[in-house]
Each structure stands twice: as structure tokens, then as C-alpha cells.
Amino acid sequence: MEKIKLKVRDLEMEYDGKRALDKVSFNVQDGEFLSILGPSGCGKTTILRILIGLLKPTGGTVTKDGIDITDISPAGRGMGIVFQNYALFENMTVLENVEYALKIRKENKANEARQAVREKALALIQQMDLTEHIDKKPAMLSGGQQQRVAIARTLIMNPDIIMFDEPMSALDVATRLSLRKEIKRIQAEFKTTMIYITHDQEEAFAMSDRIMVMKEAHLVQIDTPQNIISNPANDYVKDFVLSNLQAKIDSLLKYVKV
């Protein structure tokens, strides 16, 4: 039976009297890949910052595994986040970046714990295909490699939910495609619940179990990619989601010989 991982109810956010979220409610299933899709300024990042605990909502609740976490600090939520700009420590090597958070947590423990942290970091670095770059600083890596370091650094904390805030927007097309596969592989292997913010329709349709479409502080539709295509909630969904995909299909069809 499906289990609800996150329950979001009537989420509201106001910045200086301006509404950025208006009564947004949705569930995220355990192990699900949910994309939040919408144009710039519709409230995607605001939702993510509230879910992870960096921002306190002006109204509504967030429940994880049946426990109200609305007022719990980010560190106590067991969630990880991967940012658009990687947010790596520039003065640290790949290994130091990946180890950092877990090392801090276990700082006062025995050498044995430190050894365990090292082993876990090495295993993740290998899994993310970064072994040859282990002693390099972020500036010496490509954008895709830096994003893989950022993902390894998140995974070392064993989060049961990982949020991605437009993680591919600075990357070229080929790197995006390989990182998409990598993220889906991690999801399958670790059974992690993933919430993925994007304004790229194709990315959302290629990766998601369900897509949540937003417009101007409101949730417009949340459903599987198939159902959004076959049954868009309104003209906005049809235009924003589908016409953009159609434009891509049309441009590809030019290359098809009939």
C-alpha cells in the first residue's frame, strides 16, 4: 500500500503583504518523484524553502511521516537539498566537501566513526563517478561534475527526502541528460522521495511520477504526466505545459523523413 511521506495543508506565504502562496495543499508519496513545474515567480522556491525549514510559512502545516514539522529546524527534518548553483565549499576538495556535514556531526566521536565517514564518502564518490577528481577543488570541475559532488554531499546524510532546486539550469544539454539518468538511478537504488523544482516541461515529463503545475501562488493541477496530457485541468495547463512540449515535438519532426 502507498504511504504518505509529506502532507502539506493550506500553505500560505506573504512577503510584505504580497501573496506568494495561496492555500496550497498536496501529498507526496513515499519514494515518489514529484516535480513542481511553473513559470518564474509562481512560488516554487518558496514551497521548497518552507518544506526544508529555511522559511516559516505565514499559514498552513507540513507533516512528515505523520509528525507536524512546521516548526522544526532544517537539521531535524532529515531532508537534503541540491541547489542550482551547487553551493560547494570552494576551498575544500571533492572528498572534503562530501565528508563535511557528516564529519561535523560525528566530530566528537572516536577515530572509528571518522573512518566510517571516510569509507562512506569514498563509496559515494565512486558511485558518482568522481574518483579521479577526489583531490580537486570545485573550480577545477565542470558544472556537471560539481553537481554530482553536491548530490554525493547530500546523500552522505542519508536523507529520506531530497529536494532539487532547478539543479540543471546551468548545464548543457548532454550533461543534463546524463544527470537526469543519474538522479533516477539514485532514486531507484536508495528509494528516496524526491521533489524537483523546474520550469522545464520536458524535464518534468521525462523524470516524474507526478507533476504539480503552479500558476501565480496557486496549485493548478497535480497528476501523472499521462493524465496531465490526456486531461489538462484548464487552458493554462494546456498552454503552459502542452504547447511548449508540442513546440519541441514539432521542431524534432522536421528531422523525421516520411
Ligand X SMILES: Nc1ncnc2c1ncn2[C@@H]1O[C@H](COP(=O)(O)OP(=O)(O)OP(=O)(O)O)[C@@H](O)[C@H]1O
The residues of the shown chain that bind ligand X, judged by CB under 6 A, are 15-16, 20, 38, 40-46, 199
Q: Is 215 helix (H, G, I), strand (E, B) or coil?
A: strand
Residue 197 CB, nearest approach to ligand X (Å): 7
Which of 57, 152 has the CB closer to ligand X? 57
Residue 194 has what DSSP assignment? Answer: E
Which of 59, 78 has the CB closer to ligand X? 59
Residue 13 CB, nearest approach to ligand X (Å): 7
Residue 41 CB, nearest approach to ligand X (Å): 4
Question: Of 231, 237, 197, 195, whose CA–CA distance to 215 is shortest?
Answer: 237
Which of 156, 213 has the CB closer to ligand X? 213
Phi, psi torsion values for 233, nearest 5 degrees: -65, -35
Residue 181 CB, nearest approach to ligand X (Å): 24
Would you give the end-to-end CA distance of the chain in angstroms? 46
Tell me which amino acid residue 7 is.
K
Residue 195 CB, nearest approach to ligand X (Å): 13
Which of 17, 66 has the CB closer to ligand X? 17
According to DSSP, the residues that pair with 248 across neighbouring strands are: none
Angstrom distance (rounded) from CA 153 to CA 156: 6
* Cell digits of residue 229: 496530457
Which of 145, 208 has the CB closer to ligand X? 208
Residue 109 CB, nearest approach to ligand X (Å): 38
218-223 and 210-215 beta bridge pairing: antiparallel
Residue 191 CB, nearest approach to ligand X (Å): 27
* Cell digits of residue 56: 516559516
Which of 95, 241 has the CB closer to ligand X? 241
Question: Of 5, 27, 22, whose CA–CA distance to 59 is shortest?
Answer: 22
Which of 98, 241 has the CB closer to ligand X? 241
Contact 98, 137 (CB under 8 A): no
Rg over CA atoms, the chain: 19
